A and B are shown apart, each in its own frame.
Chain A
Amino acid sequence: MKTKFASFRLSAKCLLKALQRRLMREARYAGTKHWLIWIIAALLPLAFTSQAQAFSGEEVMKKSQAAFLYPGKDFKARVVMKLINKDGQERVREMTMLRKNMGEAGGDQKYFMYFFQPSDVKDMTFMINKYPARDDDRWMFIPAINMVKRIAAQDKRSSFVGSDFTYEDVSGRDIEDDTHAVEREEKVGERDCYVVKSTPKGADSDFGYKFTWVDKANFLPLKEEQYDRKGARYKQFSADEIADVKGIPTAVKRTMKNLQTGHRTEVAYLKTDYGLGIEDSLFSERFLRQPPRKWID
């Protein structure tokens, strides 16, 4: 019920925005004497703002997850990851990432990845069935011996392909694993953000708590600061470039920096696209072994 209510409020917000745009347009056509329309139009955001402030930390994180990891029915990107050590030496991991939502935002998802680089993993494919409340199912295809292998994956905090990103950073962390509180509101650059503090409920996480700066307008996480269990600064995430892809604001450049080791990972999402009509059948052993060219270019 709670999520239904939230999504109703979200659509109410959209309606308000549309109404405001409409009124502004009409006021322009009607000329300045229709001052009443101008006033109504100007006052509308107030109604909207007071409502937005009512979001709890958990609601903000849910919306953020929906905006960051669930937009579109499906998604595709050519992901180029640069792993850079403190001396500036680079390693490149390049893959095509495909994602399909199996239901609502926050629900099950399927991921399919095909690796281009480095050379020794070229043609390797990787499939994840992600379930929010339990461990993922993961399969890997090893081209060298033409073998499909199911792999154990109980640790979502482990590094994704050796980068500073964890599996959770790539495909999402369960909202229920942490408690969330809106600490304050703050600008990141020109953007107004909620600052949400998230603290793991369990003691098995590598971080003690983290702050996320969530854009108030589009709910993308623009910045995240993780602290280790001793309270020292640990990792820092930033969304470095947001692009509009088919009307969906998308973080196409991201960085995760380990402040304790000086190692960082810069990611560029190229050829990003949504709503491609990826079939369920793609997520199968058949295509793990023989990935269709049309999806992996």
Chain B
Amino acid sequence: MLRTSTLFAALLLVPLAASAEATLSGFIQQNTAFNTAGQNPDGRHYKWLEERAQLKLDATEGDWRLLAKGDLAYDHLGRQDGSELREGYLDYAGSNWDLRLGRQVITWGLGDLVFVNDFFPKDHEALFAGRPLEYLKRGVDAVKLGAYPEFASFDLVLAPNFRESRTPDADRFRLYDPMPTVANRETVKPKEGDVALRAYRDIAGYDAALYLYRGFQRTPSMRPDNMTATTKITYFYPKLSIYGASLSGRAGEGVLSLEAAYYDSREDRAGDDFAVPNSQTRLLAGYQIQPVEDVSLGFQYYAETMHDYDAYLAALPAGFPVDKRWSHAVTARLTQLFLHQTLRFSAYASYNASNGDRFVNPELRYSFTDKIWGAVGANFFGGKSWGQFGQLSRDDNMYLQTRYEF
């Protein structure tokens, strides 16, 4: 419904675009990802096989700006839901405030594929299926109000409808399922929207920010109707509030990033509902350096802890995997540029010391011309069968991306 209305609003604004300074750009793209070990649950060998075209209209008139970015996609694996309005919004820029109305991608926080204060919907499947990085983020239909008084800057995001993150498709990825025999499943989405606030400013050369969120978990939890004789599983998005902070700036030769957040699981404050995530504290420390020309190294340490661990243990049904109270993970990324920065090698690796979860993503990307680039890469997963990456350990894949931009 909202998508239609956004599209309709965008169409209404076409006359504005006609009188304004407007640019039209876009790309066509081929994207293939194939399994390197085993096959999909649906028997196929491809994680992704798709042609895609994007058109982007960007029009400015005085203090107004209209941006519409739409994708048309053809999926050879028979899932035709890839065509979408990626972004479509109207901007108004006042002197010390601004407004953005419509579908927009918002990214907060400092993490590299680790999210502490980035509350906005993501597409985890895009990351695991070797799609270009921009598809990691999903737009939200929201009003974003920016206020920039002298002492600090503020972003307030009001979304009337909740939008969830996209999790990998169970036909393409081998996802952990504690109750594989139950076929009757239903997903219930929140009826309300959510709200997020960020306040940020410079403090002694450091970028400091505070974050607040009131809404829901972006990935679903599952609740069986009956523990002993389950006939139906309901997926739902538990209520969640987040209170976070971040700081980044120069430290020694590199850039230090620190993030922390308290995840208040409002639907299970006692922590004794096994279906709802426990309240958590999440901590992230990152450091990035450039040891030599055209080489960048980034390291992250990430920890999360459950606040009502004893209640969690007591409530967990027999046979369900047990998470540890503390989870510690480290990540590393190497990026190196060659041939006047037209060839880029990057490798990302993450390892969770608490459950053995691991993920490696090497990628080589080359710009054949200023308009055509291609990338080849791989996703390797490992760990316990119920871990975030471990469950995908038979979903290792290699991918190709080719894009012509105009």
* A residues lining the B interface (CB < 8 Å): 83, 85, 91-92, 117-120, 122, 135, 137, 144-147, 149-155, 157-159, 161-163, 263, 281, 284-286, 290, 292-293
B288 touches which of A119, A145, A147, A151 (Cβ 8 Å): A151
Are A152 and B293 in touch, CB under 8 angstroms?
no
A159-B405 in contact (CB<8A): no
Which residue, B107, B249, B257, B405, has most C-beta atoms of chain A within 10 A? B107
Kindly list chain B residues whose C-beta atoms are within 8 Å of the C-beta of A145.
105, 107, 133-134, 136-137
* Contacting residue for A119 out of B60, B289, B292, B406, CB 8 A: B406
**Identity of the chain B residue whose Cβ is nearest the Cβ of A139 in the assembled complex:** B207
Residues of B with C-beta under 8 A to A135? 250, 253
Complex Cα gap A33–B199 (Å): 76
Residue from B104, B153, B289 within 8 A of A154 (CB atoms)? B289
Evaluate contact between A293 and B21: CB separation under 8 angstroms. Answer: yes
B25 at the interface (CB under 8 A from A): yes
Q: Check if B234 is an interface residue, CB within 8 A of chain A.
A: no
Q: Say whether B342 contacts A150, CB under 8 Å.
A: no
- Asked if B296 and A118 make an inter-chain contact with CB atoms under 8 angstroms apart, the answer reads no
Shortest distance in angstroms between A89's beta carbon and chain B's nearest beta carbon?
A: 9
Chain-A contact segment, one of B302-310, B349-357, B367-375, B377-385 = B367-375
11 contacting pairs across A/B (C-beta < 8 A): A85-B340, A119-B371, A149-B110, A151-B290, A152-B288, A154-B289, A158-B293, A161-B341, A162-B337, A284-B153, A285-B153
CB distance from B334 to the nearest CB of A (A): 13
Across the interface, name the chain B residue whose C-beta is closest to A153. B290
Q: Which residues of B contact A147 (CB under 8 A)?
A: 107
Residues on A with C-beta less than 8 A from B91 are 290
| B207 CB contact (under 8 Å) in A150, A155, A290 | A150
Q: Are B341 and A152 in contact (CB under 8 A)?
A: no
Other contacts beyond A119-B405, A155-B292, A155-B293: 10, CB < 8 A: A91-B340, A118-B405, A120-B367, A152-B290, A153-B290, A154-B290, A158-B294, A162-B340, A281-B148, A286-B153
Report if A154-B253 is in contact (Cβ < 8 Å); known contacts: A119-B370, A137-B205, A286-B153: yes
Binary contact readout B1-36 vs A (1 if CB under 8 angstroms, 0 otherwise): 000000000000000000001000101000000000
Total contacts A to B, CB within 8 angstroms? 102
Q: Which of B205, B207, B257, B292 has the most CB of A within 10 A?
A: B207
**In the complex, what's the smallest C-beta–C-beta distance from B160 to chain A, in angstroms?**
20
Check A120–B405 contact: CB distance below 8 A: yes
**How far, in whole Å, are A117 and B93 apart by their CA atoms in the complex?**
25
Q: Is B182 an interface residue (CB 8 A)?
A: no
| Measured CA separation A256–B84 after assembly (Å) | 45
Indicate if the CB atoms of A159 and B341 lie closer than 8 Å.
yes
Pick from B137, B292, B371: contact of A118, CB below 8 A.
B371
Q: Does B200 contact A (CB under 8 A)?
A: yes
Partner of B290, one of A85, A92, A158: A158
Min C-beta distance of B234 to chain A, whole Å: 32
CA distance A153 to B288 in the complex (A): 10
Q: Which residue of B lies closest to A117 (CB)?
A: B370
Centre residue among B296, B370, B371 by max chain A CB count within 10 A? B370
CA of A147 to CA of B93, assembled, Å? 19
Report the Cα distance A145→B115, complex, angstroms: 13
Interface residues of B in 103-160 (CB under 8 A from A): 104-107, 110, 132-134, 136-137, 146, 148, 153
Q: Which residues of chain B from 322 to 366 have any CB-CB distance to chain A below 8 Å in the complex?
A: 337, 340-342
